[in-house]
Amino acid sequence: MKVLLDTHVWIWWLLGSERLSPRERRSLDQRAAGDGCHLSAMSLWEAQMLHSKGRLTLDRPFAAWLRQETSPGVVAVLPLDVEVVLALDLLPQSLHGDPADRLIVATALTH
């Protein structure tokens, strides 16, 4: 089963945040080892925005961190493409007002 990670869950997992339990982290580690963790391309933009606003502190330059944490064995990045944008029409307007979150949900529906 594919799992599409929310941007914050992806970041919390990679940075070892206490917002995820050890059990949740182990589960993500196991899924990543089996090619089961996926990420919307929208999450890359969200991570960059968090970093540029000083809300994502890293131990290395952002470019190096992003390349490493989107490499095979960590996550598979799913594209923001025509099908994802068309899936936005399937979402109820009441679902969520954040465009990034709506695109992540549309990515999940598409893939």
Q: What is the CATH number of the domain that holds 65?
A: 3.40.50
What is the span of the domain harbouring residue 94? Answer: 3-110
Question: Over the stretch 13-64, which tens digit does the pLDDT of each residue have?
Answer: 999 999 999 999 999 999 998 878 999 999 999 999 999 999 999 999 999 9
Question: How many domains does the chain contain in total?
Answer: 1
pLDDT band at 90; cut points 50, 70, 90:
very high
Whether residue 2 has pLDDT greater than 90: no
Contacts of residue 47, defined as CB under 8 A and 6 or more positions apart, other chains included, come to 7, 10, 11, 56, 66
Q: Which residues of 87-110 are buried (b: 16+ CB within 10 A; e: fewer)?
A: beeeeeeeeeeeebbbbbbbbbeb
More confident residue, 23 or 93: 23
- 102 in Cβ contact with 91 (< 8 Å): yes
- Give the per-residue pLDDT at 95: 86
Task: Return d(Cα 16, Cα 104) in angstroms, integer.
Answer: 22
pTM recorded for the entire structure: 0.91
